[in-house]
Amino acid sequence: MQKVKKTRPGSTGSRHWNYQGGQETLAAKQRRSESSLRLRYLQDMGYGLGFMGGRRMPGRKPVNYLTLDYKNKDHLVYVINIINEIN
């Protein structure tokens, strides 16, 4: 005997109370990604150079994030240029 497929309630997809799709444009997503990258580098620079302590930021690292050595001058210049980049 086969099971009878139940009908779905009316609150699915875009009608669901917690639906969150399509609220952020690609430009807004890009700005948020760049801001996240800047904050992550600021935090890493603070820990790498020894003037910050405490807990680190939770979560994934941003997409374009590179692990750098903050004792290397070239790496430090790269990070400062990213942090100071103005859009």
**pLDDT tens digit at each of 87 positions of the chain:** 778 877 777 777 777 777 777 777 888 888 888 899 999 999 998 988 888 888 888 888 888 888 989 889 999 999 999 889 865
- The sign of the torsion formed by the CA atoms of 15, 16, 17, 18 equals negative
- Distance separating alpha carbons of residues 40 and 59, to the nearest angstrom: 11
Q: What is residue 37's predicted lDDT score, i.e. its pLDDT?
A: 92
- Distance separating alpha carbons of residues 69 and 45, to the nearest angstrom: 9
- Distance separating alpha carbons of residues 31 and 34, to the nearest angstrom: 5
Enter the pTM of the model.
Answer: 0.68
Q: What is residue 86's predicted lDDT score, i.e. its pLDDT?
A: 64
Q: What is residue 40's predicted lDDT score, i.e. its pLDDT?
A: 93
Q: Two tokens at 26?
A: 């690609």
- Distance separating alpha carbons of residues 67 and 61, to the nearest angstrom: 10
